[in-house]
């Protein structure tokens, strides 16, 4: 399918790249998002993202090879990174899947992935889990091979498909290395038992917990779910699904990999909870962990939380019921807050026919701090998907999600300590990107400075077959996105008062009317209005986020204006975005050029 995608995208993609080649260097975030690898005409889905420690992000994905790119805090590709991303692993028959990456605390990133050698009979060959460390410039760190280092040696091959393939979790160890947990089939068949293993590696790729890692749970399970939280001292707390009642168990490992609790883990919930789905675990600020899941109690489904202490105690005397609901709880996200609290967010369908996003703050002592049933974050009509949450390091959180409302394709918001929407953000979320194309994935990364970066994959590049799923990014500041993306008009709040009848009359609006005609066979007139002669500029972007043209228009003064878009230059057929900028005010509108 990849070859058909490339053939179908060649004509349009080549035109976009050639047209953008002469574009001026971008110094700010375009309203449709900064393209992660604008010159790569292939899928960038699924992808994973991690902070670069300087306000930007690393993004990694697989497209038969392992790819990576880096976006700076200004929305540009980092110096030395090509527009098609950097490719790792020289063998074209060496496939990479199930990728995750995380910061290395030195301006680089660890990349954890499954690697599969497809020299012959790709469907039957085994795979292994490996780790690669990249510098901020994209090169493998000293001593690290381009194909990475195996997580567990001496075990032989492991299964590549099925539930086993997705059961890999990784966290920083707080000491410049990382901890990786994975499930390993004992046998060659998908239905064989699985053992849960964990490995700690230092920054040089050395195994710290033995060549093959530690066995946390022996091979008695088919598909153990697991979550991992750091214990803040180089160890980890693991949570997994077990066939023993009451099903959900946990284990704490020391920095040396020794189990600190019962040999096969401790139970986290009472027998009243009979089903567990997608547990999430984070640190609690005192070497313990918060754990959340949604499941069934025999009466209904619900969202539950519990805290386990560093010594393995359960101070809440059982699971805390965050929400009792009959259906529709998913996309559960959990992040740490100050004072040992946790911030929880999820999507549910409590209102028939309308998906909503809610959030809750859980105190260290097990108290629900916000509204019973969760604080409503977004109740606007429309399908919502791919919820992501990140701490703002100021005791609040950013949330982002895909949305089908007309105003945008990705929405975000910022909540403070009390759950209030921070000024500058709209109720029900602010559009981060105008409605360009369907969204397939959203990731959110905080940069430890009170800001965050949201990344998403959408289908903005059409082909003769399937649209390419390409990744964009946008920086989120405390009071709004770095580039606001309203659907059409931004209003000036100022007024000109005292006409003869005594009424206040608004001054000329700051507004972008759009292109006329739209669609057009070539670039037409872009109509807009300005409230005064303050510096303003009109810009044109392609759907990859490249700025193709810019013109200063503030000197035209207050009133309605029309300017020939792109100075009448020929543009390839496609969808474009025009943007009118005046200080912190931004208005945007889409336009189409047809043959």
Q: Which of 97-106, 241-250, 499-508 has the lowest mean pLDDT?
A: 499-508
Mean pLDDT calculated for residue range 71-89: 89
Q: What is the pLDDT of residue 565?
A: 82
| Pair of tokens at residue 160 | 């590549």
Give me the mean pLDDT over the 198-218 stretch: 92
Q: Are 308 and 287 in contact (CB under 8 A)?
A: no
250 within 8 A of 265, measured Cβ to Cβ:
yes
pLDDT band at 22 (very low <50, low <70, confident <90, very high): very low
CA distance readout (Å), 100 to 9, 333, 495: 28, 17, 51
**Cα 512 to Cα 141: distance, rounded to the nearest angstrom:** 48
Query: Given pLDDT bands bounded at 50, 70 and 90, which one contains residue 3?
Result: very low
Prediction pTM value: 0.76
132: helix, coil or strand? strand
Choice among 20-24, 136-140, 199-203, 505-509 with the minimum mean pLDDT? 20-24
Give me the sheet containing 320-325, strands edge to edge: 275-283, 289-296, 301-308, 320-325
Looking at the structure, give the CATH architecture of the domain made up of residues 495-593. Sandwich (2.60)
If 0-12 CB within 10 Å is exposed, 13-18 middle and 19+ buried, where does residue 511 land?
A: buried
What is the distance in angstroms between the CA of the first residue and the CA of the last residue of the chain?
A: 27
Q: Quote the mean pLDDT of the chain.
A: 80
- Encode pLDDT of 38-55 as tens digits: 888 788 989 999 999 889
- Which of 52, 38, 83, 32 lies closest to 482 in space, CA to CA? 32
pLDDT digits (tens, 9 = 90+) for 354-411: 889 999 999 999 999 999 889 999 999 888 999 999 999 889 999 999 998 888 899 9
Q: Which residue has the tokens 């209030």?
A: 420
Asked whether residue 507 carries a pLDDT value surpassing 60, the answer given is no
In tens, the pLDDT along 395-441 reads: 999 999 999 888 889 999 999 999 999 999 999 999 999 888 889 99
**pLDDT at residue number 123:** 43
Average pLDDT over residues 221-247: 76
pLDDT at residue 437, rounded to an integer:
87
Give the pLDDT score at 191.
Answer: 61
- Buried residues in 113-151 as b, exposed as e (16+ CB within 10 A): bbbbbbeeeeeeeebbbbbbbbbbebebbeebeebbbbb
β-bridge partners, 528: 512, 561
pLDDT band at 172 (very low <50, low <70, confident <90, very high): very high
Res. 28: pLDDT tops 70? yes
Q: What is the pLDDT of residue 182?
A: 84
């Amino acid at each position: 399918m990849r070859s058909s995608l490339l053939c179908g995208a060649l004509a349009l993609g080549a035109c976009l790249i050639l047209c953008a080649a002469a574009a001026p260097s971008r110094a700010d975030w375009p309203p449709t998002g900064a393209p992660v690898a604008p010159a790569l005409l292939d899928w960038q889905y699924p992808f994973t993202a991690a902070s670069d420690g300087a306000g930007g992000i690393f993004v990694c994905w697989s497209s038969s090879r392992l790819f990576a790119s880096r976006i700076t805090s200004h929305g540009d590709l980092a110096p030395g990174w090509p527009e098609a991303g950097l490719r790792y692993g020289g063998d074209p028959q060496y496939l990479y899947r199930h990728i995750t990456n995380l910061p290395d605390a030195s301006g680089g990133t660890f990349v954890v992935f499954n690697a599969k050698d497809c020299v012959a009979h790709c469907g039957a060959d085994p795979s292994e889990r490996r780790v690669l460390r990249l510098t901020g410039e994209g090169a493998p760190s000293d001593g690290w091979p381009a194909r990475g280092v195996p997580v567990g040696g001496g075990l032989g091959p492991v299964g590549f498909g099925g539930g086993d393939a997705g059961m890999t979790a990784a966290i920083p160890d707080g000491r410049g290395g990382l901890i990786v947990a994975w499930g390993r089939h004992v046998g060659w068949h998908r239905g064989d038992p699985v053992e849960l293993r964990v490995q700690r590696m230092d920054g040089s790729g050395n195994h710290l917990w033995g060549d093959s890692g530690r066995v946390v749970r022996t091979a008695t399970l088919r598909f153990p779910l697991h979550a991992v939280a750091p214990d803040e001292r180089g160890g980890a707390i693991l949570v997994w699904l077990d066939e023993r009642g009451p099903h959900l168990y946990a284990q704490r490992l020391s920095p040396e990999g020794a189990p600190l609790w019962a040999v096969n883990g401790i139970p986290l919930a009472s027998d009243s909870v009979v089903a567990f789905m997608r547990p999430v675990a984070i640190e609690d600020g005192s070497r313990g962990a918060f754990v959340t899941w949604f499941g069934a109690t025999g009466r209904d489904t619900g969202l539950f939380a519990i805290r386990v202490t560093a010594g393995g105690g359960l101070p809440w005397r059982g699971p805390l019921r965050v929400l009792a609901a009959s259906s529709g709880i998913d996309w559960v996200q959990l992040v740490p807050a100050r004072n040992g609290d946790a911030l929880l967010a999820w999507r549910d369908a409590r209102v028939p026919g309308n998906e909503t996003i809610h959030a809750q703050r859980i105190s260290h002592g097990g108290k629900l701090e916000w509204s019973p049933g969760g604080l409503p974050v977004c109740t606007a009509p429309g399908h919502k998907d791919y919820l992501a949450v990140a701490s703002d390091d100021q005791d609040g959180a950013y949330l982002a999600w895909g949305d089908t409302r007309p105003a945008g394709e990705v929405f975000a918001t910022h909540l403070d300590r009390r759950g209030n929407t921070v000024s500058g953000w709209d109720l029900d979320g602010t559009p981060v990107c105008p409605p360009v194309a369907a969204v397939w994935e959203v990731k959110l990364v905080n940069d430890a400075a009170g800001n965050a970066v949201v990344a998403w994959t959408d289908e903005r590049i059409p082909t003769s077959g399937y649209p390419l799923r390409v990744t964009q990014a946008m920086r989120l500041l405390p009071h709004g996105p770095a580039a606001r993306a309203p659907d059409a008009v931004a209003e000036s709040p100022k007024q000109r008062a005292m006409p003869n009848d005594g009424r206040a009359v608004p001054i000329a609006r700051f507004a972008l009317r759009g292109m006329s005609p739209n669609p057009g066979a070539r670039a037409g007139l872009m109509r807009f209005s300005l409230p005064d002669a303050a510096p303003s500029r009109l810009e044109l972007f392609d759907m990859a986020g490249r700025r193709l043209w810019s013109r200063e228009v503030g000197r035209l003064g207050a009133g309605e204006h029309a300017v020939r878009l792109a100075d009448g230059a020929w543009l390839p057929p496609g969808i474009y975005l025009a943007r009118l900028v005046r200080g912190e005010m931004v208005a945007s509108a889409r336009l189409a050029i047809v043959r």
